[in-house]
Structure 1
Amino acid sequence: MNTRTAACAALLALAALAAGCGSSDDKPSEPEQPAATVTKTVDTAAARAACVDAWAELLQGDEDLDPADEPSACQGLPEDDRLDRYMDGLAQRNQANRDEVEACLDDPSCTSVPIP
């Protein structure tokens, strides 16, 4: 009789273990949505490009600006990138000025750029 009791106890223990493994609480986690990350990156890159363009336009009219005078188009962008955005805007402004001088030098009738 002890053998039957031991066998029943062992079967009940195995059944309890099997039922515990099949719990509905162990749902596999859903994969993260990559579109949200990609969209945020694209939005941040577009916002940064708009900020650099705003810097270039602002610097074209006033050369006494510094990174603390950041345009409103740069609101919400990371603070640690402020100087890089300023420098990129400055480089963009300088390139536009070089392009204007090159175009004037190629045109003999151009008088917009003073040449000594």
Structure 2
Amino acid sequence: MRIRTTTLAATLLLVTLTGCSGDSDPAPTETATATATSTAPALSKAEITQQCIDAVAAVISQRPADFDPEADTDPQPAECDALSETDYLDAYMDGLQQSNQDGRDALQRQIDEAAETDQP
């Protein structure tokens, strides 16, 4: 989360700097980009994959009620852009499993709550 905040802040700084300078040379912007990205630690492949899995699970959980898996597709989250196609497909399947498990857990909580209520 801290990495995203740092990256977002650096990006906003760059946008602000480039937006305010009319006909300036692009070289200072490139220097600012290199400085901003070098201060943020790189994520490991496992961390990137987990972020992708979480993002896929979130996308799947927000599907509309009329989602048709035969005709509709889920958009690829930006968190998955750094993954290869094979790694993305693996992460997508893991995200699908995570979303399904979250749904089963929510249903079980509802069943447990209903069983705890006083019955006549």
**Could you say what secondary structure the match of 1:70 adopts?**
coil
| C-alpha RMSD of the superposition | 2.5
In 2, Cα distance between the equivalents of 1:48 and 1:66? 20
| Bigger CA radius of gyration | 1
Matched ranges for 1:25-104 at <5 A: 43-62=44-63, 63=67, 64=69, 66=73, 69-104=75-110
Give the % identical residues: 33
**Could you say what secondary structure the match of 2:83 adopts?**
coil
Correspondent of 1:105 among 98, 102, 111: 111
Quick one: higher RCO (CA 8 Å, sep 6+), 1 or 2?
A: 2
User: How far does the alpha carbon of each residue in 1:5-27 deviate from its partner, in whole angstroms, 9 at most, with x for none?
Assistant: xxxxxxxxxxxxxxxxxxxxxxx
The residue that corresponds to 1:113 in the other structure is none
In 1, Cα distance between the equivalents of 2:83 and 2:73? 17
Structure 1 unmatched runs, 5+: 1-38, 111-116
- The AA in structure 2 aligned to 1:97 is G
Q: TM-score, normalised by structure 2?
A: 0.51
User: How far does the alpha carbon of each residue in 1:14-68 deviate from its partner, in whole angstroms, 9 at most, with x for none?
Assistant: xxxxxxxxxxxxxxxxxxxxxxxxx97x71100000000000000001155646x
Question: What count of residue pairs does the alignment treat as equivalent?
Answer: 70
Q: TM-score, normalised by structure 1?
A: 0.52
How far residue 109 of structure 1 moved from its aligned partner, in angstroms, is 7.8
Deviates more, 1:51-60 or 1:82-91: 82-91
